[in-house]
Structure 1
Amino acid sequence: MQFSEHWLRTFVNPALDSSALGHLLTMAGLEVEDAKGVAPAFSGVVVGKIVDAQPHPNADRLRVCKVDAGLAEPLQIVCGAPNAAAGMKVPCALVGATLPGDFEIKAAKLRGVESFGMLCSARELGISDENAGLLALPDDFVVGQDIRTALSLDDTVFTIKLTPNRPDCLSLLGVAREVAALTGVPFSAPAVRDVSATHTEKREVLLDAPDGCPRYLGRVLRNVDPTKQAPDWMKQRLERCGIRSIGAVVDVTNYVMLELGQPLHAFDNERLSGDIHVRWSHSGDRIVLLNGQELTPNPKTLLIADENGPLALAGVMGGEASGVTDATSHVFLESAFFQPDAIVGRARAYGFTSDASHRFERGVDFTLQRQAIERATELILGICGGEAGPTIEQVADDALPSRLPVSVRVARASQVIGVDFSAAQIAEILGRLTSDVTAVGSSVEIVPPSYRFDLQIEEDLIEEIARLHGYEAIPEKSPVGMLGMLPLPESRRSAAALRRLLAARDFQEVINYAFVEEAWERDFSANADPIRLANPIASHLSVMRSSLLGGLVGTLTANQRRRSSRVRIFEIGRCFIKDPEAQPVVGYRQPHRIAALAWGPADAEQWGQASRKVDFFDLKADLEALFDGRALAFARISHPALHPGRAAEVRCDDRVIGYIGEIHPNWVQRYDLVSAPVVFEIDLDEAVSRPVPVFEAPSKFPPMVRDLALVVPASVASGALLDELRMAALPIVQAIELFDVYHGKGIEPDRKSVAFRIRFQHTDRTLEDAEVDAAIEVLVGRASERLGAQLRS
Structure 2
Amino acid sequence: MRVPLSWLREYVALPAEATAREVAEKLIGLGLEVETVEEVGADITGPIVVGRVLTIEELTGFKKPIRFCTVDVGDANGTGEPQEIVCGARNFTEGDLVVVSLPGAVLPGGFAISARKTYGRISAGMICSASELGLWEDHEGIIVLPEGFAEPGTNAHDLLGLRDSVLDIAVTPDRGYALSMRGVAREAAAAYGVDFTDPAQRPLPETTGGGYPATVADPTICSRYVLRGVTGFDPHAPSPLWMRRRLHLCGVRSISLAVDVTNYVMLELGQPLHAWDRATLRGPIEVRLARQGEKLETLDHVVRDLDPDDILITDESGPINIAGVMGGVHTEISETSTDILVEAAHFADTHIARTSRRHQLSSESSRRFERGVDTAVQLAAATRAVDLLAELGGATIEDGVTHIDLTVPREPIVVRAGHAGRVAGVDYPVETEIARLRQVGCEVVQDGDTLSVTPPSWRPDLTDPNDLAEEVIRNEGYENIPAVPPQAPAGRGLTRGQRLRRAVGRTLADRGFFEVLNYPFVGTRDLDGLQLADDDPRRTAVRLANPLHDDEPLLRTTLLPGLFRALARNVGRGFGDVALFEMGLVYHPRPGAPARAPVPAVDRAPTAEERAALEAALPAQPRHVAAVLAGQRLQSGWWGEGENATWADAVQAARETASVAGVELMVRAAQYAPWHPGRCAALYVADGDGDVLVGHAGELHPRVTKAYGLPPRTAALEIDWDRVEAAATVATAPRVSTYPVATQDVALVVDESVPAAEVEAALRQGAGELLESVRLFDVYTGDQVGEGRKSLAYALRLRADDRTLTAEETNRVRDAAVAAAAERTGAVQRG
Report the TM-score when normalising by structure 1.
0.87
**Equivalent in 51, 72, 77 of residue 67 of structure 1:** 72
Partner amino acid, structure 2, of 1:497: A
Question: Does the aligned pair in 2 maintain the 1:704–1:759 contact within 8 Å?
Answer: yes
What is the Cα-based RMSD across aligned positions, in Å?
3.9
Tell me: CA distance 1:325–1:432, structure 2 relative to 1, closer, same or farther (3 Å): same
Greater mean alpha carbon deviation, residues 736-745 or residues 445-454: 736-745
Q: 2:486 matched to which residue of 1?
A: 479
C-alpha distance in 2 between matches for 1:263 and 1:220: 16
Q: Secondary structure at the match of 1:390?
A: strand
Q: Secondary structure at the match of 1:7?
A: helix
Write the mapping of 1:390-405 to structure 2, written as runs, cut at 5 A: 390-395=399-404, 397=406, 400-405=407-412
Partner amino acid, structure 2, of 1:147: A
Partner amino acid, structure 2, of 1:437: V
**Equivalent in 784, 789, 793 of residue 755 of structure 1:** 793
Q: 2:738 matched to which residue of 1?
A: 699
Question: Does the aligned pair in 2 maintain the 1:193–1:375 contact within 8 Å?
Answer: no
Greater mean alpha carbon deviation, residues 465-474 or residues 648-657: 648-657
Question: Does the aligned pair in 2 maintain the 1:53–1:66 contact within 8 Å?
Answer: no
Note the C-alpha offset of 1:430. 0.7
Residue identity over aligned pairs, in percent, reads 33
Partner amino acid, structure 2, of 1:652: V
Q: 1:449 matched to which residue of 2?
A: 456
Task: Mark the runs of 5 or more structure 1 residues left unpaired by the alignment.
Answer: none
1:337-396 deviations in whole A, cap 9, x for unaligned?
333344333344334343333333333322223223333333323333454433243535
Count of residues in correspondence between the two structures: 788
Q: 2:717 matched to which residue of 1?
A: 680
Q: 1:152 matched to which residue of 2?
A: 161
C-alpha distance in 2 between matches for 1:63 and 1:292: 44
Question: Does the aligned pair in 1 maintain the 2:651–2:681 contact within 8 Å?
Answer: no
Q: 2:51 matched to which residue of 1?
A: 48
C-alpha distance in 2 between matches for 1:104 and 1:713: 90
Write the mapping of 1:266-305 to structure 2, written as runs, cut at 5 A: 266-282=275-291, 285-305=294-314
Q: Does 1:88 align with 2:96?
A: yes
Greater mean alpha carbon deviation, residues 552-561 or residues 141-150: 552-561
C-alpha distance in 2 between matches for 1:225 and 1:492: 73
Tell me: CA distance 1:568–1:480, structure 2 relative to 1, closer, same or farther (3 Å): closer
Q: Which of the pair has more CA radius of gyration?
A: 1
Write the mapping of 1:157-556 to structure 2, written as runs, cut at 5 A: 157-190=166-199, 192-194=202-204, 202-282=211-291, 285-395=294-404, 397=406, 400-434=407-441, 436-486=443-493, 494-521=500-527, 523=530, 526=536, 527-556=538-567
**Equivalent in 64, 69, 79 of residue 85 of structure 2:** 79
Tell me: CA distance 1:110–1:420, structure 2 relative to 1, closer, same or farther (3 Å): same
Note the C-alpha offset of 1:436. 1.8
Note the C-alpha offset of 1:432. 0.7
**Equivalent in 590, 604, 620 of residue 589 of structure 1:** 620
Note the C-alpha offset of 1:169. 2.6
Question: Does the aligned pair in 2 maintain the 1:423–1:444 contact within 8 Å?
Answer: no
1:427-457 deviations in whole A, cap 9, x for unaligned?
0111112262122323332111112111111
Q: Does 1:662 align with 2:679?
A: no
Question: Does the aligned pair in 1 maintain the 2:767–2:817 contact within 8 Å?
Answer: no
Tell me: CA distance 1:712–1:443, structure 2 relative to 1, closer, same or farther (3 Å): same
C-alpha distance in 2 between matches for 1:64 and 1:332: 44
1:232-265 deviations in whole A, cap 9, x for unaligned?
3333333333334444333333333333233333
**Equivalent in 658, 680, 691 of residue 647 of structure 1:** 680
Question: Does the aligned pair in 2 maintain the 1:171–1:260 contact within 8 Å?
Answer: yes
C-alpha distance in 2 between matches for 1:112 and 1:777: 113
1:630-676 deviations in whole A, cap 9, x for unaligned?
64432333423333343333233444333333334553554455533
Q: Does 1:605 align with 2:636?
A: yes
Question: Does the aligned pair in 2 maintain the 1:547–1:575 contact within 8 Å?
Answer: yes
Q: Secondary structure at the match of 2:763?
A: helix
1:615-643 deviations in whole A, cap 9, x for unaligned?
44444444444427864432333423333
Partner amino acid, structure 1, of 2:444: V
**Equivalent in 30, 38, 45 of residue 28 of structure 1:** 30
C-alpha distance in 1 between matches for 2:34 and 2:555: 37
Q: Secondary structure at the match of 1:352?
A: coil
Note the C-alpha offset of 1:277. 2.8
Note the C-alpha offset of 1:124. 5.2
Tell me: CA distance 1:129–1:519, structure 2 relative to 1, closer, same or farther (3 Å): closer
Q: Secondary structure at the match of 1:551?
A: helix
1:446-479 deviations in whole A, cap 9, x for unaligned?
1111121111111111111122222233333433
Q: Secondary structure at the match of 1:226?
A: coil
Greater mean alpha carbon deviation, residues 602-611 or residues 586-595: 602-611
C-alpha distance in 1 between matches for 2:355 and 2:8: 31
Note the C-alpha offset of 1:295. 3.7
Note the C-alpha offset of 1:607. 6.1
C-alpha distance in 1 between matches for 2:801 and 2:283: 110
1:271-317 deviations in whole A, cap 9, x for unaligned?
33433333333467554444433445333333333334333333333
Note the C-alpha offset of 1:723. 2.3
1:18-77 deviations in whole A, cap 9, x for unaligned?
221122223323322333244233133332334455689999956362524147963242
C-alpha distance in 2 between matches for 1:115 and 1:675: 69
C-alpha distance in 1 between matches for 2:813 and 2:287: 97
C-alpha distance in 2 between matches for 1:221 and 1:417: 52
C-alpha distance in 2 between matches for 1:691 and 1:152: 75
C-alpha distance in 1 between matches for 2:52 and 2:473: 55
C-alpha distance in 1 between matches for 2:368 and 2:783: 86
Question: Does the aligned pair in 2 maintain the 1:195–1:388 contact within 8 Å?
Answer: no
Report the TM-score when normalising by structure 2.
0.83
Question: Does the aligned pair in 1 maintain the 2:581–2:626 contact within 8 Å?
Answer: yes
Note the C-alpha offset of 1:580. 5.5
Tell me: CA distance 1:140–1:679, structure 2 relative to 1, closer, same or farther (3 Å): same
Tell me: CA distance 1:402–1:745, structure 2 relative to 1, closer, same or farther (3 Å): same
C-alpha distance in 2 between matches for 1:580 and 1:376: 58
1:579-618 deviations in whole A, cap 9, x for unaligned?
4599995443322232333344554325666666544444
Note the C-alpha offset of 1:89. 2.3
Tell me: CA distance 1:402–1:773, structure 2 relative to 1, closer, same or farther (3 Å): same
Q: Secondary structure at the match of 2:777?
A: strand
Q: 1:637 matched to which residue of 2?
A: 670
Question: Does the aligned pair in 2 maintain the 1:206–1:278 contact within 8 Å?
Answer: yes
C-alpha distance in 1 between matches for 2:639 and 2:121: 85
C-alpha distance in 2 between matches for 1:405 and 1:533: 36
Tell me: CA distance 1:227–1:468, structure 2 relative to 1, closer, same or farther (3 Å): same
Question: Does the aligned pair in 1 maintain the 2:523–2:553 contact within 8 Å?
Answer: yes
Question: Does the aligned pair in 2 maintain the 1:517–1:540 contact within 8 Å?
Answer: yes
C-alpha distance in 2 between matches for 1:109 and 1:717: 93
Tell me: CA distance 1:453–1:667, structure 2 relative to 1, closer, same or farther (3 Å): same
C-alpha distance in 2 between matches for 1:599 and 1:425: 65
